[in-house]
Structure 1
Amino acid sequence: MYKRKIKENIYLLGAIDWDRRLFDSLIPLPDGTTYNAYLIEGSEKTILLDAVDPPMADELISQLDGVSKIDFIISHHAEQDHSGSIPRVLERFPEAKVITTPKAKLMLIDLLKVPENAFITVTDGETLSLGDKTLKFIHTPWVHWPETMVTYLEEDQILFSCDFFGSHIATTDLFVTDQGRVYEAAKRYFAEIMMPFRNIIKKNIEKLEGFDIQMIAPSHGQIYDHPAWIIDAYREWVLGAPKNTVVLPYVSMHASTKMMVDHLLSSLVSKGVRVELFNLTVTDTGKLAMALVDAGTIVVGTPTVLAGPHPLAAYCAFLANALRPKAQFLSIVGSYGWGGKTVETLAGMIPNLKVEVLDPVLCKGVPLENDFIALDKLADTIAKKHSEHGFR
């Protein structure tokens, strides 16, 4: 696509990746993504903000046809989908200097072999004049790597946020046109890469409160021309209390665990507790991560395999431990044939979760009446805990 005008002398460049379905060999991309770069032509200097994933570098280079000079390239984040084609841009504009944080400079040297003399590092709050336009650099560590920053264009009140507030959607829309769709994609994005750093992101949101932000231009997804709602959404995801929701991921081999999960679900719903159910043999892990953002309780359902949890249940526990959701309670339900250490193994896999572990319910073989009674008791306990903590 050609470069697209956002405001006077400010343009969207980059590429739409319609076909990509997996990010970092881990994160599902059901709707593809975009790699957004931005060009600002000041009265004295011209600057490129970020680049694109290397396989799409040719598209970015073609969009720069007619641009006689680039004085600066901003690298907000060293990951390749944003900075991987910077060496190609430097080949085209060898006089350009790469502006980044001190930590990002070291990463870009390691990852992309950008020569050290190509860099200018900036401190938190430092400004740069392009003549009639002024950029302020704001360090935002752990959004979502330790070296990240964002840039605020003072005269136009635009925040160039890189991964902050991003969403994976392949679209030709320049601005957000379907808020519901973007909300879901942005929440998925937050859940998959931002949620582990909630406490630090809180400080970064507070940093931005002193700025008059009329537009947010992220490096993935559409531009927010009315950005208040996405900032409020981030505040809720980061600061909001857990909700009256149980996330119930499970796997069942011979239906015993499924019988228990189905009974627990019905019992919870009858007590006014919302349930998000995930069959781990078919689950989109992005959807599971989204559900974990708000969950008050996590209950893992698993059969016993070779004396421990099913590998899919173990992966689920590993994922939850890595994402560090704000859930406050956890339990385990499942079945076994002759014995094992399912509970001990799973409990040992979640050291990052600050949760109260509720009494698990395990049955030998198929569940019997006493097992269903125990599941009802677990549902009662969860409903009571949610009520006591004011989960809504």
Structure 2
Amino acid sequence: MNKIMLAKDTYWVGKIDDREVPFHRLILGKGTTYNAYLLKTEKPTVIDTVDMQFGREFVEYLSELINPEGIQYIIINHTEPDHSGGLAALASRAPHATIVCTSPAVNELKEMYKLHSRNFLVVKDGDTLDIGGKTLKFKETPYLHTEETMITYCMEDKILYPCDIFSTHVASNTFFADEADFDITDDFIGYYNAIIHPHRRYVRTLIQALEDLDVQMIAPSHGYILRKDIQKYIDLYATLSADTIDDKKATIVYTSLRNNTKKVAESIKRILEENQIHVSIFNADKSEKSAILESIKEADAVFIGSSTKYADMIGNLEDVLKDLKEMNLEGKIAAAFGSYGWSGEAIEVIQDYLHETNMNVQSTSHVIKTTGMTHVEFPVRVRFSPNNEQLKKIEHSTTFVADLLLSAI
């Protein structure tokens, strides 16, 4: 393959995968590319790698441009194997290279590629690295789309290396979007919807990070490199991730033995209201069932929780849950929660009841399968009174529901 140059001493060194590629439980009918980049400076640097099955091929192609033993830095913006997969092969051929990443990425890379003895440079938001003739600036972009993700910006070339962000899934020998024989916008939006939109809250972090960067080219890890109409693509992310203008409502219903589940309910209420969602909250033992059911009927999201006593729910909550099965609640989001001291069976019983309705019931399994997020848990289970760690768990899960409600697409 001919050398693909982005700027002086800057080369594409990735892999074109023109198969029908299995990816995130999708089939990429147009294939994809795994884009990696070589900055052939005084301290040669590689930014990202390729999918693990192409690691050997990646190093062989890279070796046509540089002796890998001379590489000084390997930057990993994101640890997912379609980006970091070539690291093991490259690290063995570049024994003196320092691996550059965020703090959460270090242990992941060590464990994934048996790199426990390698030198790592942990970078934080705003840090810079002089690679001899070029200066790299790093911005942390957590949860776009995993916790450890960052973006890298070359200050002299004004090139942004954002990994998954601003990508497309298209396999093409035409590397630059402005040279493609079609408008890539639909593919660009399709990638956003499939990979980035579940994490749209964090797009705000990205947009803020770009405010002080003069970006003249975007070199993502999949698909086309963008060097014209840059602001168009940035604006698309801002538009697609915007909140809906519709008013959203949530109903919280609970029973509580020692006020611990009440505290969880109040935390959920506070977080939803901070997201401009109108909340109605009911203690099922102190409220009319008809009022509770009417509120649930009008709500966009429903949270139901109970303390556990003798492996069961307490109070009048089960009477409410039995009636939900007879209601048409299609389109509503539902989540179970509760506090417990021993094993928390009541929370699971609530979850079972919710699954008997036609609501969109949140579960940890569903979240992981659709977003890859491992920090969001459903049902929300709190042992005894919520401490700081458990309050954080409540926040993650409630915010996830808030994002589902507020999504404009």
Shift of 1:99: 0.5
Q: Does 1:197 align with 2:195?
A: no
Q: Report the residue type matching 2:30 in the other structure.
A: D
Match of 2:56 in 1: 58
Match of 1:23 in 2: 23
Change (3 A) 1:114 1:182: farther
Question: Helix, strand or coil for the counterpart of 1:114?
Answer: coil
Match of 1:262 in 2: none
Question: Identity across aligned pairs (percent)?
Answer: 33
* 8 Å Cα contact 1:198/1:238 also seen in 2: yes
Q: Distance in 1 between matches of 2:133 and 2:354?
A: 67
Question: Helix, strand or coil for the counterpart of 1:159?
Answer: strand
Match of 1:236 among 236, 239, 248: 239
Shift of 1:317: 8.0
Q: Distance in 2 between matches of 1:356 and 1:209?
A: 26
Q: Distance in 1 between matches of 2:204 and 2:168?
A: 19
Q: Distance in 1 between matches of 2:103 and 2:158?
A: 25
Shift of 1:354: 5.0
Match of 2:124 in 1: 123
Q: Report the residue type matching 1:346 in the other structure.
A: M
Question: Helix, strand or coil for the counterpart of 1:167?
Answer: coil
- Equivalent residues in 2 for 1:152-191 (5 A)? 152-177=153-178, 178=180, 181-191=183-193
Q: Distance in 2 between matches of 1:126 and 1:230?
A: 25
Aligned length: 271
- Equivalent residues in 2 for 1:1-392 (5 A)? 1-24=1-24, 26-42=25-41, 44-66=42-64, 67-68=66-67, 69-177=70-178, 178=180, 181-226=183-228, 227-239=230-242, 241=244, 344-349=357-362, 353=401
* 8 Å Cα contact 1:100/1:121 also seen in 2: yes
Q: C-alpha offsets along residues 339-386 of structure 1, whole Å, 9 cap, x if unaligned?
A: x998814343498555999xxxxxxxxxxxxxxxxxxxxxxxxxxxxx
Question: Helix, strand or coil for the counterpart of 1:22?
Answer: strand
* 8 Å Cα contact 2:201/2:403 also seen in 1: no
Shift of 1:241: 3.9
* 8 Å Cα contact 2:48/2:83 also seen in 1: yes
Change (3 A) 1:90 1:347: closer
Change (3 A) 1:344 1:130: same
Q: C-alpha offsets along residues 146-199 of structure 1, whole Å, 9 cap, x if unaligned?
A: 000011100110001101111111011121034964221221211112112111
Q: Report the residue type matching 2:232 in the other structure.
A: W
Q: Distance in 1 between matches of 2:403 and 2:241?
A: 17
Q: C-alpha offsets along residues 92-114 of structure 1, whole Å, 9 cap, x if unaligned?
A: 11111111111111111222222
CA RMSD across the alignment: 3.3
Change (3 A) 1:354 1:129: closer
Unmatched runs of 5 consecutive residues or more in structure 1: 244-296, 298-307, 309-315, 323-339, 358-390
Q: Distance in 2 between matches of 1:215 and 1:356?
A: 32
Q: Distance in 1 between matches of 2:150 and 2:132?
A: 22
Q: Distance in 2 between matches of 1:222 and 1:173?
A: 8
Q: Report the residue type matching 1:348 in the other structure.
A: V
Q: TM-score, normalised by structure 2?
A: 0.60
Q: Report the residue type matching 2:56 in the other structure.
A: D
